[in-house]
Amino acid sequence: MRVVRCMWCAVLAVVLVLLTEPRAYAYTDPGSGALLWQALVAAFVGAGFYFRKFLFHFVVKKKIEKEEQ
């Protein structure tokens, strides 16, 4: 119960901080958007290769086990 209460307090604190932030009037150049897109695409492609390796390992292992029987 205490953990749930602490978690709610943390969520409330984050929400209050985000709602009370003043405007920054900052400039973001167009290259920043391209950098974000590149990072997202790289993360998805990297995750795909990472999980493909494990999936391939299990499929090949099952085929080898079936051939041995």
Q: What is the pLDDT of residue 49?
A: 87
Q: What is the pLDDT of residue 21?
A: 74
Distances (CA, A) of 64 to 21, 52, 57, 67, 69: 59, 18, 11, 5, 9
DSSP of 2-66, one letter per residue? HHHHHHHHHHHHHHHHHHTPPP------HHHHHHHHHHHHHHHHHHHHHHHHHHHHHHHHHHHHH
The residue that leads in pLDDT, 67 or 38, is: 38
pTM: 0.43
Segment 7-59, tens digit of pLDDT: 888 999 999 888 887 877 777 777 888 888 899 999 999 998 888 877 777 77
**Domains of the chain, residue spans:** 33-69
